[in-house]
Amino acid sequence: MKKTALALCLAAFSASVTLSVAQADPAAMQPQQQQQVEITEAKLLQFTMAMDAIGEIGAKYEAEFQSAESAEQAQQIQQQAQNEMVEAVESAGLTAAEYNAIAQQAQQDDELRERILSMSRADS
């Protein structure tokens, strides 16, 4: 269950920020090298705090998004959730790019993913 939640948080935020960046600056979506982030214990703690906050934000807006009466309303709800997610990441001390880089590395690295999960469980 916790792994599923982690995967959803990683995917949801990554997609949200990618979409936000694409809307703000289409040139930024051109192929680029993945940002490398030095993954320290402090960065992982920040990432875990942000991930937990993103999960809460996603849960908060899920029902509202599902009950949207129009595509425009759904888009507004999604934008509001994205804005809160970016704020949560920045409040945790990371940039959206750092968060996404760690999320991408965690998707590819089982050991890193387990470290994140154990930190998240320790916080709960």
Give, as one character, the DSSP assignment of residue 70: S
- CA distances, 22 to each of 2, 26, 29, 30, 93 (Å): 30, 5, 6, 9, 23
Of the listed ranges 20-29, 78-87, 99-108, 112-121, the least confidently predicted one is 20-29
Spatial contact of 59 and 50, defined as CB atoms under 8 Å apart = no
The model's pLDDT over 11-53, given as tens digits with 9 standing for 90+, comes to: 555 555 544 444 444 444 444 455 677 889 999 999 999 999 9
Residues 6 or more apart whose CB falls under 8 angstroms from that of 56 comprise: none
Q: Indicate whether 58 pLDDT > 60.
A: yes
Q: What is the mean pLDDT of the chain?
A: 79
In Å, how far from its chain's centre is CA 33? Answer: 19
Is the whole model's pTM more than 0.85, yes or no? no
Q: Report d(CA 103, CA 14) in Å as an integer.
A: 8
